[in-house]
Amino acid sequence: MIKQFWDWFTKQQSTLRKITDGDYDLIDSILIELRTIQTGLAVEFEKNGDEIIMTISADGVEDNFDIVKEIVNGAPKIDNWDFVAFRQPIPREKINSVTITVKGIILDPKTLWFRAVREDDNLYVQIFSDTLTEDNRGDIGYGCLMLLDNLIGEYDCVTKVRGYEFYSLNEATDFKDDLDPLTEIRDFLDNYYSMDA
């Protein structure tokens, strides 16, 4: 199925380049073809000069990580296309300028806080927001996970942290001094795992 997908993609690639000009219906055609291999995958596109970078994502589902790797490893060489497995972290120098908006709520890692909790050799991360309420907890949680894909990359977001919990900043009154800004989570994870190595 992977070979068939890439055979189809190679034949269509000149048309598919129009995605970066705003022809987003073409994304659906790629997703339909990918569904013949595995459901639940996502694709994202970025233009870099003449080159188009296509990211194939497991959309945070660890069970789909192996198939994403197989798909990208099976990619043919096509001029001016680059194929990447998983959403990649943004460059460190851009961390302070990234935000995500979910249902009108702007999530800025400079105004979000985190605390790491180790339990039974597993690492959990608690994230605190001063805009979180019971009504928007799900939306803010979803937005924070998207933000984490940008900050640490999809692969590390899923494999280095066992789980995430989302709280109002008011719930951190007893340990506010123990919180770090979310902008520092990549450095924290790098240090945490280098100590375990």
Give just the sign of the alpha carbon dihedral 30, 31, 34, 35: negative
For residue 15, pLDDT over 90 is answered with yes
Give just the sign of the alpha carbon dihedral 171, 177, 178, 181: positive
DSSP structural state of residue 49: T
pLDDT in tens, 74-116: 999 999 999 999 999 999 999 999 999 999 999 999 999 999 9
pLDDT in tens, 22-55: 898 999 999 999 999 999 999 999 999 999 999 9
Strands (E), 28-148: 42-48, 51-57, 81-85, 100-102, 105-107, 112-119, 122-129
For the chain, which residues make up each domain, given as ranges? 2-85, 92-196
116: left (phi over 0), alpha (psi -120 to 50) or beta: beta
Cβ atoms of 55 and 43 closer than 8 Å: yes
Residue type at position 39:
T
Q: pTM to 2 decimals?
A: 0.87
In percent, how much of the chain has pLDDT > 70? 99
Query: If pLDDT is split at 50, 70 and 90, which confidence band does 196 have?
Result: low
Owner of token pair 């120098």: 93
Produce one character per residue of 149-179: b if its CB has 16 or more CB atoms within 10 Å, e if not. Answer: bbbbbbbbbbebbeeeebbebeebeeeeeeb
CA–CA separation, 27 and 6 (whole Å): 15
